[in-house]
Amino acid sequence: MLREATSLFILIYAILYVIQLLWLRDGVEGYNALLAWLTNPIAAAVNIILFMFSLIHTVSWLHLASRLAPRGGHTASPPAILKVGLYVLWLVISAIAAFLIYMGGLI
């Protein structure tokens, strides 16, 4: 039930992200408006809350995905191994994204 409830917050985050992209489309004025909005303490609190709900959503999805993996045949992996593999994959992808953003000059 919690995973389904957090998907509403993921929708809100996606809508806010699209609004921010629309602001950036407006050039310098839009960029300045976006910076002004992002420095607002209320906006920071909203982003932190939405980030926490996205983490809950991701963790619950990874937990569920490891339990629902196909188990047919003699080569089925135990759910614990699948769960660890999914978490490792999540961390590797996050590390690659952080490297590309911070070290790769994408910001």
Q: What is the pLDDT of residues 58-73, one digit of tens each?
A: 888 888 877 776 666 5
Pick from 43, 45, 48, 54: nearest CA to 20: 43
Instruction: Give the pLDDT of residue 98.
Output: 86
pTM listed for this prediction = 0.70
| Residue recorded with tokens 């002004």 | 36
Question: How far is Cα 58 from Cα 80, in angstroms, rounded to an integer?
Answer: 17
DSSP letter, residue 69:
S
Poorest-pLDDT segment among 12-21, 47-56, 75-84: 75-84
Cα 52–68–6 angle (5° rounding)? 20
